[in-house]
Chains A and B, each alone.
Chain A
């Protein structure tokens, strides 16, 4: 695989807001690449720069080594799926899909065959002659997808395409989008603010924050080894405490997180004094009476509340210094439930405790 799209030091500023501070990215051919970040971090702006609806203030965008950012949008050969589908309401389903092919002056026989083929891929062939106002949200989404794929674009862009669908359909559609993308091998840039969706669907993803790319990587790596406190907290659930370094402790470093409790953590370079301590709920384990896990930091807290989430039971624990952490118990044992107000002991595995510079 080779790089198909290169984004080099792209900046974009609206009157008062710096939407893109300086973004550089490389997307590989055939890849499913996701831009993930909270609302307002600049994902749409970046996508629209690539699509050609916005002109970057600085930087370059290259496709297969050629300048893309100097090309008018309609000559870029980039398919786009919009958040609100943007179906042409005055055209039938078939004509919607045929629209881009007509613009390319595809001969009638081939046009028909390609449009039908695209509709078949999204299982909308039987509804080809419907008018869009007779379609459900999910069906309109499929038409939008077929329309963008029918032109066989060199790049497919999707801006939060599932955000208007209900939760169940969202999960179904994302599986289907991924299957189609694999089948056709279209390089895809997918935008979402939903970290679970991003982890599930992406081959690689870029986490964005306030107009910058914080981290690029495979979902597993970004989850396991976040390079910034922002990524650590944005992806997956996490506990965050502030503390101060106390010094090396075996292969680990100790952090005083308050109340005299010293938590052992993965050593991190260049840190001193105040630090932010982040660990995921699955790094914490409740201990039975007198139980112990060798090498782990032991702690004590009081059950503040608990949530039953189906497969897991989430406990919120109040620590001695008043801070709150949570932990998940998988396949909870109904006979061993801890009650609210009960004092419990738990263990935190040092390998799962990450340190970042304290903010501010």
Chain B
């Protein structure tokens, strides 16, 4: 029955109101701040200035260059391994695939930090080589960013392409062969075109994520500034900061990411080939020697991306004095972290738990509205709720400060501003996760419950929500994982007592307290890896799409 004013109308209203307050107002204020002259009138001078001074303008080029290189490198690294995992009989394939998810959920700034531990000025490898008289170029700057981000992000391509290759039905390639094509021709005329959307989709996802990343360039970039880091340095400038220029940079950043997303829609939007996979192509089993070689290669690539986690974990147990580490076992770093900044750890857990819970709750309800109660309003909601997807954390950070540091809504300096920023950033993912599950549940199951005499709302709870539960839980855990590793918005919004574990890591690295940074990083990685591996084990292959 369509009764006016039922609970779902209320949910729609609340969702729109939240999006207006948390997105439209901040983004509007951000734009306004970038267009406001000193005299209080409209001006384009900040944009002119940003684009005229190379110190600012080159960061745009840097961002595109870094993201482009990361994407290329990720393709080169990931595609061969994807082919191996999908088409060759390699022992321990499932384990390799689970491990490949871990880099995706580790924050890039921890990766960057660990490459500094290895190859930085006082890095383990650097000093080791110096002892035997070899000097290597330092890891700081563009190549360091590219290295760190590539090893963090290539699994996007790996998992998407491997998935597409496995979804390819054997009959398709057989049909081509039956039509007289050689295996090589089949590969180029069938396999490649059909998996191309996934390659492209993975590549653009890597590009977008690299473009929006703040942590890695901040830690390892040093003088090499990209858009998110220039925005941050404009904001916290020693001279008191320049909100107008920071807003201008942030606006340009969001323009770029939106453009990238539009390219993504245009390039891959409709070209997904829906495969009802009946028989995946059976993996080939090469001679033992070749098989060993290929297994070794796949393990090497995936192992390389786990090096940062390993290095950080080992370092955390070293004795430390500032940037100097001694290879003696010690729990000193953990003692320091747990005694000096226990609040940051509890903050991180509490904030990400509450915001993920809110995301899951509202995300599930919105997903239900969008999938099951289609109307003009819910279609609009569906589009609006996806907006945060295009907005880098840096932009959310600046926009929230600009919007909420003066009446009518003052949130700066409270935990609420962090909570709301986390909530709105991850909301699109929760809605997507929820609607993906809903599409697999037949609407008539809920109707069956209604026809048996259970009210619509109770039927939703007893049947649909209940059936969504496993998916909701794993989606919620992934949201939690992404939230607790958040740095790019947090760095703008945290204040005093409301520091988080990511902020602690960042500050300890900046002040060269490498020991406690390693301990805090290890705590964070353990907190993230365990639930992710649990979800992966629970959901099997589907976890990949969820990430």
Contacts and interface: CB of A to CB of B under 8 A. Distances in A.
Interface in A60-84: 72-80, 82-84
Interface stretch (B17-25, B40-48, B232-240, B440-448): B440-448
B467 interface: yes
B447 A80 contact: yes
Contacts of A51: 447, 451
A99 B444 contact: no
B447 A77 contact: no
Contacts of A87: 445, 448
B454 to A, nearest CB: 5
A82 B452 CA distance: 12
Most buried by B among A74, A87, A89: A74
Contact of A74 (B445, B455, B463, B467): B455
Interface in B461-475: 463, 466-467
Contacts of A52: 1, 450-451
A82 B450 contact: no
A56 to B, nearest CB: 12
A144 B448 CA distance: 9
A89 to B, nearest CB: 7
Q: Provide the main secondary structure of the chain A interface.
A: loop
B444 A73 contact: no
B467 A73 contact: no
A86 B456 contact: no
B455 A79 contact: no
Q: Provide the main secondary structure of the chain B interface.
A: helix
A82 B447 CA distance: 9
Interface string A85-119: 01111100000000110011000000000000000
B453 interface: yes
A74 B455 CA distance: 6
Most buried by A among B1, B444, B454: B1
B444 A103 contact: no
B264 interface: no
A169 B449 CA distance: 27
Interface in B450-498: 450-456, 459, 463, 466-467
Interface in A123-171: 144, 147-148, 151
Given A84-B442, A88-B463, A90-B466, A53 B447 contact: yes
A349 B390 CA distance: 75
Contact of B448 (A55, A75, A82, A104): A82
What bracket does the count of chain A residues touching chain B fall in? Answer: 20 to 34
A99 B1 contact: no
B270 interface: no
Contact of A90 (B451, B452, B453, B467): B467
B450 A99 contact: no
A80 B1 contact: no
Contacts, number: 74
Contacts of B445: 86-89
Given A86-B442, A86-B444, A80 B451 contact: yes
B451 A72 contact: no
Nearest to B452: A100
B453 A89 contact: no
Given A53-B447, A86-B445, A100 B1 contact: no
Nearest to B469: A90
Most buried by B among A76, A87, A103, A147: A103
B2 interface: yes
A80 B448 contact: yes
B467 A89 contact: yes
A86 B452 contact: no
A350 to B, nearest CB: 49
Contacts of A99: 449, 452, 454
Contacts of A82: 444, 447-448
Contacts of A75: 453
Given A86-B445, A90-B466, A90-B467, A73 B452 contact: no
Given A55-B2, A74-B454, A74-B459, A88 B449 contact: yes
A238 to B, nearest CB: 35
A55 B449 CA distance: 18
A51 B451 CA distance: 7
Interface in B97-130: none
Contacts of A76: 451
Contacts of B2: 55
A352 to B, nearest CB: 43
Most buried by A among B2, B444, B459: B444
A77 B448 contact: no
B451 A104 contact: no
A58 to B, nearest CB: 15
Nearest to A76: B451
A51 to B, nearest CB: 6
Interface in B173-206: none
A73 B448 contact: no
A73 B456 contact: yes
Contacts of A103: 452-454
Contacts of A89: 445, 467
Contact of B450 (A74, A104, A144): A74
Nearest to A72: B1
B449 A73 contact: no
A89 B300 CA distance: 43
Interface in A39-63: 51-53, 55
Contact of A86 (B1, B448, B454): B448
B463 to A, nearest CB: 6
B451 A74 contact: yes
Contacts of A148: 451-452
B290 to A, nearest CB: 41
Contacts of B451: 51-52, 73-74, 76, 78-80, 148
Nearest to B455: A74
A73 B1 contact: yes
Interface in B53-112: none
Contact of B1 (A55, A90, A144): A55
A94 to B, nearest CB: 14
Contacts of B466: 90
Interface string B240-253: 00000000000000
B447 A86 contact: yes
A278 to B, nearest CB: 38
A76 B444 CA distance: 17
Contacts of B447: 51, 53, 73, 80, 82, 86
Interface string B429-447: 0000000000000101101
A62 B469 CA distance: 39
Contact of B453 (A53, A77, A83, A144): A77
A151 B447 CA distance: 15
Given A80-B447, A103-B453, 11 more contacts: A72-B3, A73-B1, A73-B447, A74-B452, A74-B456, A86-B448, A88-B448, A88-B463, A99-B452, A100-B453, A151-B453
21 contacts: A52-B1, A55-B2, A72-B1, A72-B3, A72-B455, A73-B456, A74-B450, A74-B451, A74-B455, A76-B451, A78-B451, A79-B451, A82-B447, A84-B442, A84-B444, A86-B442, A103-B452, A103-B453, A144-B448, A147-B452, A148-B451
Ordered nearest first, which 3 A-B pairs have the shortest CB separation? A100-B452, A86-B448, A86-B444
Interface of A: 51-53, 55, 72-80, 82-84, 86-90, 99-100, 103-104, 144, 147-148, 151
